[in-house]
Each structure stands twice: as C-alpha cells, then as structure tokens.
Amino acid sequence: MGEPIRIFDVVGILGLDPRPGSQIAPTSSSVNFKCPICNHKGYTLNVNYQKDTFKCPKCNSKGGAVALYSLVRFNESYQKGSARAKETIAQLRQELYGGSTPTGPQRHVRSTTPAAPVIRQASDEEKNAVYNALLDLEPFKLTPEHRDHLRSRGLSDAVIDRNQYRSIPDSPYQHPRFSKETEAAIQNLPVKVSKSAIALGLMTVAALKEKGFNDFTGIPGFFKVGKHWCFYLVKGILIPTRNERGQIVCFQVRRQGSGLRYMTLSNKMLPGSVQDGISKCHVVSSSRVGGDLTCSTRIMLTEGPLKADVIAALSKEPVLVLAIQGVNVTACLKPVLDWLKANGVRTIYNCLDMDRITNLNVRAGSLALRELMAANGFEFPAMVWDDETAIKKLQELKDLAIVNQVPLPKKTGNPFTYLCALCVALEEAGIQHTEKSNYWPSRSKGYDDWLYYIRSH
Ligand SMILES: [Zn+2]
C-alpha cells in the first residue's frame, strides 16, 4: 500500500485556511482551520498532525487523512475497505505523489505548487441549456432496469419522464483510436479516468457540438483532455438537480456496485473544470419541477434529490421539497432561502431521515441545520412519522437503560422526543443501543420510504 498518508500533506493539497498566526509544520501538534465541510465562520476544524486525525465539533465530522480528503474533495464519507475507498486512496496518492514513488522531501512539493486558476461557474441558464441537450442524447436513454428501480421507489412513469432521469451507460461506443496527443493527455490527467469513460465523454461533447454548443467553460462535469472538451461520467442513474425555476444546475449520480451510492457529478481534479460550489440545493414541487409557491402549503427539507422527488410525487397535500446533497452541504441553501424569504416563507419543515432521532451523528447534522435556519430567520420544526416504530424502540431502549442502570430521562409525552432523550442518555453512558445499520427500519427511514409504505399497504 506504500507509505502511510499523512494528514499534513492532505491539508496541503486541500489548501485549507489556517487560523491566522498558526505554525504549520509536520512537527506541529495541532492546528485549527476554517472547516470546509460545514463552512462555520470560526476556525473550527482541528487537525492533529501527531495522530493524523481531524475533528470539527460544529459539524461533528472527524476521522483520518483519507476521510478528510474524501469529504472535502468529493463530499463523500470514507468507508474503509469499500470499492470506492480504493479509488479515493488512489486519487489521493496520485494527487500527492503524481504517480511516482514518494521520496523524502519531494513529498511536500505538491503542497506548495500554485493552485490552478479558479474557473467561475457558468450561469444557471447556460448550465440548464447544456444539460438539457445532454439529456436528449440517445446513449443516455433510461434503461428498463433503472426505470424499474425508480418505480420501486414509488414514482409513476409520468413522473419519471417529467423529471428526466437518465442512465449513464456502460460504454455504448467502441474505444476509438485516440491520437498520440490525446493518449498523452490522458496519461497526464491528475486523476485516472478509464479510456472507455473518456471515449464516452468525448462522444458526448461531439454530439453536443452538433447541437451548437462549443464552449463548456464553467459547466460542472466538463473538463479538458489536451485541447478537447470531455464530459466526466460515472456509471449509474443520472438525477437532475434543479433550482427554484426548474433549471438543471447539477447532477447527482446513483452509482451501481459501490459502497457509496450517491454522489454529485463533479470533476474537481481534472483540467479546465469548475472547482467549488458544484453541489446545489434541489427544488421540486408536487405540481411541477422547481418551486411552486402559489399552491404549496408546506415547505420541507430533506437530503438527496431523488428522495425529494418521491416526497413531492407521493404527498397528498401540495408541497415544495428542498433537498441538499448531504447534511453538511449547506452553503448551497443560501440563494434558495433568500428566494423563499422574499416570498414570505418563514417555516421550513425538517424532513431529514428518522435516524436523526436515534443516531447521534446524524442528529448533530440536523441540529446544525436548525441553527443555520434560525440564523436565516426560519423556523425549522421537525416532521416525524411512524409512531409504531418509535413506541417499539422506546420500550426496547427503556429496558436496556434499566438493565444498565442508566437513569431514565424525564417523560416528555411525545414518543419521538422521549426516544431522542433516551438515546442521548444511553450514548452518554457509553452504551451502544442500536445496531449501526439499524437506527431506523428502512420502510420508514426517509419520509419518501414512509409515504410509499403507507400508499402500498
Ligand atoms: Zn465543520
């Protein structure tokens, strides 16, 4: 596996912003940085160089060098041993050592090379035009398997078609013979991209050029292979993320056969690509894609565009659903919150998955969101569902607390808040109360799951 990856080097390539006056050297014990995960205004991210760990009490993120890299670069949590973890480590090594064997002081060379010029994002109009043209291309037709998956989430064919989900194919093209120059450019990419993905990406761009699109500067997903534009593709279901006007502003991909199922389509490491702020907040209404305030009685926030689409489709009352791409990806909320505020909205319902009650890590993210909402002048009441599970879990955990002589918290009259207090008490007493994979049953973990469950039973 090569030599261990030091968090000092990772901090260097990520270009984190240290607290002014900090001494930054591999021999420092620890340094505080601006947290790029939650963007808290203080220097809340503590990096311990001796233990090679990081921790931010504001967003509750913590872990080692690779976990930090994975969260900041790809907005993905790192799962040791997963297929995706191998890719992440390979990309990190590539970035650190450029593919060569690390030797002595050269290891730090990368941290000091000047960053590539920052590419500004194109406007929502420009992105929407290119992305819509891309969705019309033949190779991206939704496969029957992917359609079946979407149906199994509770979506009707009409909604599936309206929302424009697409499939990123295996590789519909023969690998073309690349020119020598292109071959060399592929070799020089800072991240390994398979030749079949590049072939598909180049063909995609060629097809878009036929439709009159020539410049892809500032559009997330596009990058340069030598002098050619290419589109970065990861096999799976392509899920459009839309702004309040219904314009497509980024994509999420539901990946196949990977530990990490959802990711925002981005290519931060590749030449000519947009670096920051790629993940956007998704907006969907029961009446249409985008935001419809005229008939919305309830504004909800969840995590993941597909979840939001299902909620909007299955809700009996008119709703408008917002989805962030991850519970810590909140910077993208600002423009949407401004728009809602300008339209007189003051209440947004917390519709994050129910494991926010039993899993204290998820709970921390939910609480941080509530703070952010308050700071922006919004009420953020929690939506709860599936009392049956709450009451059942409550009984189980009460018994567990009694057996372990953990004092029971004061009764609250509401099974959900009481369950939450009980989980905190158990956690504080150091008692693992729930199997990690079973914080909440999957039939009602997300509000989308729950709506589908009650509609089909
Ligand atoms: Zn943080």
pLDDT at 53 over 90: yes
Task: Determine, yes or no, domain membership for 393.
Answer: yes
What's the structural domain count of the chain?
Answer: 4
Are both 97 and 38 inside the same structural domain? yes
161 CA distance to ligand 1 middle (Å) = 38
258 CA distance to ligand 1 middle (Å) = 26
pLDDT band at 255 (very low <50, low <70, confident <90, very high): confident
352 CA distance to ligand 1 middle (Å) = 19
Tell me what pLDDT residue 111 has.
Answer: 40
pLDDT band at 91 (very low <50, low <70, confident <90, very high): confident
70 CA distance to ligand 1 middle (Å) = 14
pLDDT at 163 over 50: yes
Tell me what pLDDT residue 172 has.
Answer: 56
CA distances from 282 to 54, 212, 304 (A): 30, 28, 8
CA distances from 352 to 161, 262, 300, 310, 366 (A): 26, 16, 9, 14, 7
Mean pLDDT of the chain: 87
Task: Determine, yes or no, domain membership for 62.
Answer: yes
pLDDT at 434 over 50: yes
pLDDT at 259 over 70: no
Strand, helix or coil for residue 239: strand
Are both 296 and 217 inside the same structural domain? no
Q: Comparing 46-50, 186-190, 364-368, 448-452, which segment has the lowest mean pLDDT?
A: 186-190
41 CA distance to ligand 1 middle (Å) = 9
pLDDT at 191 over 80: no
% of the chain at pLDDT higher than 70: 92
CA distances from 79 to 10, 19, 76, 261 (A): 17, 29, 9, 12
pLDDT band at 154 (very low <50, low <70, confident <90, very high): very high
Tell me what pLDDT residue 102 has.
Answer: 39
452 CA distance to ligand 1 middle (Å) = 34
355 CA distance to ligand 1 middle (Å) = 20
pLDDT in tens, 274-328: 877 888 999 999 999 999 998 778 999 999 999 999 999 999 999 999 999 888 7
368 CA distance to ligand 1 middle (Å) = 10
- Of 266 and 357, more confident: 357
Are both 128 and 99 inside the same structural domain? no
Range of the domain at 54: 7-112
Tell me what pLDDT residue 104 has.
Answer: 36
32 CA distance to ligand 1 middle (Å) = 11
- Residue 317: DSSP 8-state: S
Mean pLDDT, residues 256-280:
78
Are both 260 and 348 inside the same structural domain? no
151 CA distance to ligand 1 middle (Å) = 36
19 CA distance to ligand 1 middle (Å) = 14
Are both 158 and 253 inside the same structural domain? yes
Backbone torsion region of residue 246, taken as left when φ is above 0, otherwise alpha when ψ lies between -120 and 50, otherwise beta:
left
43 CA distance to ligand 1 middle (Å) = 9
Task: Determine, yes or no, domain membership for 79.
Answer: yes
34 CA distance to ligand 1 middle (Å) = 8
Are both 65 and 138 inside the same structural domain? no
Are both 138 and 211 inside the same structural domain? yes
Are both 424 and 347 inside the same structural domain? no
306 CA distance to ligand 1 middle (Å) = 25
- The CATH number linked to 254 is 3.90.980.10
pLDDT at 107 over 50: no
pLDDT band at 92 (very low <50, low <70, confident <90, very high): confident
Task: Determine, yes or no, domain membership for 457.
Answer: no
Are both 128 and 244 inside the same structural domain? yes
Are both 96 and 128 inside the same structural domain? no
Tell me what pLDDT residue 175 has.
Answer: 67
Tokens of 59: 């967003």
17 CA distance to ligand 1 middle (Å) = 13
% of the chain at pLDDT higher than 90: 56
Mean pLDDT, residues 89-102:
68
- Of 256 and 197, more confident: 197
Mean pLDDT, residues 106-135:
73
192 CA distance to ligand 1 middle (Å) = 29
Are both 92 and 162 inside the same structural domain? no
Tell me what pLDDT residue 19 has.
Answer: 85
371 CA distance to ligand 1 middle (Å) = 13
Tokens of 285: 């209404």
45 CA distance to ligand 1 middle (Å) = 6
Q: Which of 86, 112, 138 is the last residue of a domain?
A: 112
60 CA distance to ligand 1 middle (Å) = 7
Task: Determine, yes or no, domain membership for 40.
Answer: yes
Question: Most confidently modeled of 14-18, 49-53, 59-63, 212-216?
Answer: 212-216
Mean pLDDT, residues 127-141:
95
Are both 246 and 296 inside the same structural domain? no
Tell me what pLDDT residue 2 has.
Answer: 63
- Of 360 and 309, more confident: 309
Task: Determine, yes or no, domain membership for 410.
Answer: yes
Which pairs with CB-CB distance under 8 Å and at least 24 residues apart come from 340-343?
A: 340/293, 340/299, 340/378, 341/376, 341/377, 341/378, 343/293
422 CA distance to ligand 1 middle (Å) = 26
pLDDT band at 110 (very low <50, low <70, confident <90, very high): very low
Task: Determine, yes or no, domain membership for 450.
Answer: no
pLDDT at 195 over 50: yes
Tell me what pLDDT residue 316 has.
Answer: 92
40 CA distance to ligand 1 middle (Å) = 6
Amino acid of residue 188:
N
179 CA distance to ligand 1 middle (Å) = 45
357 CA distance to ligand 1 middle (Å) = 21
What residues does 252 pair with on adjacent strands? 239, 264
119 CA distance to ligand 1 middle (Å) = 25
253 CA distance to ligand 1 middle (Å) = 25
26 CA distance to ligand 1 middle (Å) = 22
Q: Which of 92, 112, 132 is the last residue of a domain?
A: 112
pLDDT band at 173 (very low <50, low <70, confident <90, very high): low
Question: Most confidently modeled of 19-33, 121-135, 259-273, 422-436?
Answer: 121-135
Q: Comparing 83-97, 196-210, 232-246, 306-320, which segment has the lowest mean pLDDT?
A: 83-97
Amino acid of residue 128:
N
- The CATH number linked to 29 is 3.90.580.10
Task: Determine, yes or no, domain membership for 448.
Answer: no
293 CA distance to ligand 1 middle (Å) = 32
State pTM to two decimals. Answer: 0.75
Amino acid of residue 384:
V
